[in-house]
Each structure stands twice: as C-alpha cells, then as structure tokens.
Structure 1
Amino acid sequence: MKRTKLVNQLTELLKPFQINDYCPNGLQVEGKAEIQKVVTGVTASQALIDAAVARGADAILVHHGYFWKGEDQCVTGMKKRRLQTLLANDINLLAYHLPLDVHPELGNNAQLGKLLGLEIERPLEPWNKNSVAVKGKLTTPMTATDFAALVEEKLGRKPLLNIAGEHLIHTIAWCTGGGQSFIDLAASQGIDAYLTGEASEQTIHSSNEQQIHFIAAGHHATERYGAKALGEYLAAQYNLDVEFIDIDNPV
C-alpha cells in the first residue's frame, strides 16, 4: 500500500483536523513509499522501534509519538537515537493522539469500555463533540471493590482504588491515560465512579469529598487497545501485515 494512500485513509477515518491537539497527528517521520508490514504500539519508544526493525516493518503506528508542545526542539540524546534508527531503516512513524482517544469505535475510550462491559451514553462534556472523557453505565451494577477486581482481571494489573462511600456503581465516567482532572466534572454530574489511567495527589481528596469512587488503572494499561484495534482494522481493510507489540510500562 502506498504511504500516501494509508495516510489519507487514516486522515479520513480519524479526522485529526477537527481536534486541537498537543502534537502533530499523522505522518511524523517519513520512510518508505510502499508499506506492507506495520507495527502498532502505545508509544514510539526505542524498544518499540528496535522491535519494529527486527521484524522488518515499513511503518510504526502509535498513540504517543513525538514533537509535543513545549518539548526541547533540539535533536540530541534520546530523541536523536530514536530518529536516527527510524531514518536509517527508512521506517515511517505515524502517530494519532487525541483523535485515537475519541474515535467512537476504534478509540481508546471505546475499546476500554468494550473490554470492561461499559456502555457509553454520551460525552462527559456534552458541549464538546471531541470530548476526551465519556459517561456511561455498567450493564450490571457492582461494588467498587468488585469493579476494581474486574479491571484487574481484564487489564492484567492491580489498579489504584479509592472507595468513597458505600454506594454501588451504576453510572461511570472514564478517560484513558492521564485524565484524572475530569473527576470533578464527573462528580458534578452525580456519577457514581470515575476511571482513568493516572492519579494526582488532589484526586483522592476530590474522590472522598465528593463521594465518587475513583479507579486509576495505569496510563499505558488503559491505552493499549486503541492502537491495537486500529491496526486490526487496517489489516482487515487493506490486507496489510500488522502486528501489535506491547512494550510493557508499569505507569
């Protein structure tokens, strides 16, 4: 498949031009014009790049790429080594940050909800069509302890759980990755629990004082599923050889 066609198809699917993001979305590093083997992953770390080189990949597709707002623009050290490896092996790097979070079917929120049996009802910010947090419900209400056990079973790691009250979880809001700041908005809407990847010191106070259960299941762990689903979609639609590689991260 031609690189230009793949980029165009991903642009049409994910519509990055509709979202104000913290990084460029799409083709970040240009490589081979013809793409057949694609490696997908969460973050374009050196370990993922090295794995892609070992597999003879023509392109890497990730959620966390490069060139974030505010980062040092100098190509030195770690950044130099990563870019050098990509360029030396003529590997394309494609990255989709918020567009991959919010996609209604392939996105991180949608895929995490599917994995945990959560039904999405609407954006947590109904005034924002690109809201990166969503509000939904459990198909079967359960205690906070039982829900945390379900998260542990499905994601393969024990989450941080803060129980705030004795109420069952009927309604839940969630945002994969570093979405802890949305807990106050979820609480203001009377939602029973909030699930995300990370926690800040003040998050636990918000949880306790507003009686909303809080679960932090890991930034990486909650965002493994969007890039994987997107790769599977590309394999089915365009007969590409796609492999998801999970470079584990405890955060």
Structure 2
Amino acid sequence: MKQNDFEKAIHQLFGEELLKENDEYGFTNIIDREIKKIGYATNLSMETVGMAIAQGVDLLLTHHDAWDFIYGLREACVGRLKQHNIGHFWIHAPLDFVDFGTCTSLMKVLEVDEIDAYSTYSEADGELPGIGEFTTPVEFEQLAKRMRGTLNEPVRAWKNNAQPVKRVGVLTGAGHSSALIREAAERGCDTYVTGEATLYSIQYAQYAGINLLVGSHTFTEIFGVESLAKKIAELNPGVEITELIESHFELNH
C-alpha cells in the first residue's frame, strides 16, 4: 500500500463531511515507501513510537496527536519517527463521530444489542452521546464487571438507580461534561459510559439518578482505532495490522 492508497481509504471510510475539519486529522510524518505494516494505538507518545520501532511498523495510526499542552512531546515523537523512517497519521473527531468509530465500537464490545443513535457533532448541538439498548436488561454490577474485563483495567462505577441497565449513553474519552450526561438522561438512558470523570460529572449523575461507568480515556477509545485499522486492511489486502498495546497509565498507578 502506498500513501495515496491509505489516503483514499480514509476518504472512502469517512466521507467529505466528516473530514471537512482538517485540523482534526493528518500526518505528522510522511514516508515515501510501501506501507506493509500498520501499528495502531490511541495515543502518539514515546511509548507507542518505541513499540512501532521495535515491531517494524511502517505507519503508526493513532486517534490522538500529541496534545499541544504536553509541551515538546510531538516534536520528540516526530524526531524518533523520522530517525526510523516511520510514518504517523492521527484522526480525532472524525473517528469519534463515524458509524464504526470509538463510541459504537465500545458499545459493541460491551455487547449492547441495538444502537439507536451514533455519537454526533454539530455546531448547533455540539457533541451528543451515542445511545444503545440491551434487549434483555443487564444488572449494573454485571455490566461494570464486563467493562473491566473488556478494558482490562479498573472501571469506576456509581450505581445511582435501582433498575437493571436497559438503555445506555456512551461518549468515549473525555465525555465527562454534565451536559452530555443530562442529554443521555433526557433521552431515557439509565446508565452513562465514558472515559473520564470530574467532581461535576459524578455529582450530576448522582443528582439525576443515572448510573455512571468510567474507564480510562485511552482504553475506552482503542476499539474505534482497531475498527479503523481493520477497515483499512480490508480495503488493502496484504497490509498487516497490529495493536501497540499501551500501558494502563491512567488508572493503574
């Protein structure tokens, strides 16, 4: 696969509408050679770059670029990528709001039976969580245990109502806004799932009587990156994909 084949796959999978905000995705390092092996992870970090080097990856695919406020990290990562002639592509908001993206993929691995609404973004409404339902309601403790097993990490759980879980709202990563939890509650959700929590999100969920399940930012979003990597490989037979398994640095400290 050449770089232009990769770019064609991205445009085919996301469409022009999701890609119109061109500051939400892109290459930080471009290579002029065949892409035979893609390594995917949630974050661009010295850890994931090191794994890409060790595993002979040609292109590192991540959900996040290095954040501007992690001062100097992007430059350090790109320097190592250039040294080892490894490409890097990241895609943020489009992957959160596509039908196979982060929220939908998390719902699928949590065995949600029916997806009623995908997570979306618009200038009028801002971010909106994905909404899904279990055909047979699940006990809250069972769902929390399932999420811990799936993410392979601690999951914080607040049980704020007495009924089994039937309808869930999901916004992976930094979906901790109380406005998002209110949106889920107003759309009939009894449980809200995300990757970060603050005092305000915890208190609002308690006040609103909606259960709260919180994993890590990294591992609530990895399944969306995996879905994207698999779709790229399907469009480009012969390309190998491998997960660069990050440490659970957010919760296991």
- Please state which band the TM-score falls in when normalised by the shorter chain: 0.7 to 0.9
Structure 1 residue 117 and structure 2 residue 117: aligned?
A: no
Counterparts of 1:29 and 1:114 in 2: how far apart (Å)? 32
Of 137, 145, 154, the residue aligned with 1:158 is 154
Gapped runs of 5+ residues in structure 2? none
Superposition RMSD in Å: 2.5
Specify the alignment match of 1:103 in structure 2. 98
Specify the alignment match of 2:44 in structure 1. 44
Identity of aligned residues (%): 23
TM-score in terms of structure 1 length: 0.87
Question: Deviation at 1:16?
Answer: 6.3
Specify the alignment match of 1:248 in structure 2. 247
Counterparts of 2:119 and 2:32 in 1: how far apart (Å)? 40
Q: For the structure 1 residues 221 and 38, does the alpha-carbon distance in structure 2 shift closer, same or farther, using more than 3 Å as the test?
A: same
Counterparts of 1:208 and 1:174 in 2: how far apart (Å)? 17
Of 236, 242, 248, the residue aligned with 2:234 is 236
> Could you say what secondary structure the match of 2:247 adopts?
coil
Specify the alignment match of 2:85 in structure 1. 90
Question: Deviation at 1:157?
Answer: 2.1
Specify the alignment match of 1:204 in structure 2. 202
TM-score in terms of structure 2 length: 0.87
Counterparts of 2:119 and 2:3 in 1: how far apart (Å)? 36
Specify the alignment match of 1:30 in structure 2. 30
> Could you say what secondary structure the match of 1:209 adopts?
helix
Question: Deviation at 1:222?
Answer: 0.8
Structure 1 residue 55 and structure 2 residue 49: aligned?
A: no
Specify the alignment match of 2:139 in structure 1. 143
Q: For the structure 1 residues 137 and 5, does the alpha-carbon distance in structure 2 shift closer, same or farther, using more than 3 Å as the test?
A: same
> Could you say what secondary structure the match of 1:223 adopts?
helix
Of 159, 163, 167, the residue aligned with 2:163 is 167
> Could you say what secondary structure the match of 2:192 adopts?
strand
Q: For the structure 1 residues 30 and 184, does the alpha-carbon distance in structure 2 shift closer, same or farther, using more than 3 Å as the test?
A: same
Counterparts of 2:134 and 2:188 in 1: how far apart (Å)? 15
> Could you say what secondary structure the match of 2:74 adopts?
helix
**1:72-95 Cα distance to aligned partner (Å, 9 max, x none):** 69xx74333211111122211111
> Could you say what secondary structure the match of 2:57 adopts?
coil
Counterparts of 1:40 and 1:125 in 2: how far apart (Å)? 23
Question: Deviation at 1:113?
Answer: 1.0
Q: For the structure 1 residues 96 and 132, does the alpha-carbon distance in structure 2 shift closer, same or farther, using more than 3 Å as the test?
A: farther
Specify the alignment match of 1:81 in structure 2. 76
Question: Deviation at 1:188?
Answer: 2.3
> Could you say what secondary structure the match of 1:6 adopts?
helix
Counterparts of 2:219 and 2:226 in 1: how far apart (Å)? 12
Question: Deviation at 1:45?
Answer: 0.8
Specify the alignment match of 2:6 in structure 1. 6
> Could you say what secondary structure the match of 2:160 adopts?
coil
Q: For the structure 1 residues 126 and 89, does the alpha-carbon distance in structure 2 shift closer, same or farther, using more than 3 Å as the test?
A: closer
**1:171-221 Cα distance to aligned partner (Å, 9 max, x none):** 111011111111121122232110111101111111111111111011112
Gapped runs of 5+ residues in structure 1? none
Question: Deviation at 1:158?
Answer: 2.6
Number of matched pairs: 245
Q: For the structure 1 residues 167 and 21, does the alpha-carbon distance in structure 2 shift closer, same or farther, using more than 3 Å as the test?
A: farther
Moved more, 45-54 or 128-137: 128-137
Written as runs of structure 1 = structure 2, the 5 A alignment for 1:125-140 is 131=127, 133-140=129-136
Counterparts of 1:57 and 1:237 in 2: how far apart (Å)? 19
Question: Deviation at 1:162?
Answer: 0.9
Of 217, 220, 226, the residue aligned with 1:219 is 217
Question: Deviation at 1:115?
Answer: 0.6
